Structure 1
Amino acid sequence: MTTYSGPARLILPDGTPFAGMASLSTNYSGGQTTWSGTFRPNQATAELQDVSDELRLELPYEQTGAVAVTGVRKFLASQVMMSLAGRGPAPF
């Protein structure tokens, strides 16, 4: 299992970036490697909470991976935690 925890940017389909912190890991099951994790944006906006697919997650050094949002839950009073499912190769 490979992991990454640190700064990241979630890029919407229209190119709008949202900075935040990501916690990601790879999973090996049935001969296949997948990746998933969470993303906590620095600012939670209504626009960001309505997204689900065709997103990119950018890590430092311009490493990017396609992701889908599988869930959004409130985190503290003014923040959200987004569950992500990676698509394709992991960027870490």
Structure 2
Amino acid sequence: MTTYSGPATLILVDGARVDGMASLGTNQRGDLTGWSGTFRPDQVSTELRNASDGLQLELPYEQIGEVAVTGIRRLLATQVLMSLVGQGPAPF
């Protein structure tokens, strides 16, 4: 299993960029390969709460992967934790 934990930028469909922290890992169960994890944005907006498909996650050194949001959980009054599933090769 390969993992990444650190700064990341979520790029929304309209091109808006949301900085935050990501914790990602590869999945290898049987024939299933892929990657998934979580993203904690620095700031939360309505556009971010409504985000689902067609997103990109950019890691340092311009490594980019396609992601979809599978869930959003409230952590604190001003923070959320987004569950992501990667589409295509892992960027880490």
- With the shorter chain as reference, the TM-score category is over 0.9
Q: Please, which runs of 5 or more residues in structure 2 have no aligned partner?
A: none
Flag structure 1 segments of 5+ consecutive residues without an equivalent: none
Normalising by structure 2, report the TM-score: 0.97
Aligned residues: 92
| Other structure's SS at 1:44 match | coil
User: C-alpha distance in 1, partners of 2:53/2:31?
Assistant: 25
Tell me the TM-score normalized by structure 1: 0.97
Q: CA deviation at 1:29?
A: 1.3
Q: Is 2:35 aligned against 1:39?
A: no
What root-mean-square deviation, in Å, do the aligned CA atoms of Structure 1 and Structure 2 show? 0.7
**Alignment-derived partner of residue 78 in structure 2:** 78
Identical residues among aligned pairs (%): 67
Residues 36-70 of structure 1, C-alpha deviations (whole Å, 9 max, x = no match): 00000000111100010000000000000000000
Deviation, structure 1 residue 31: 2.6
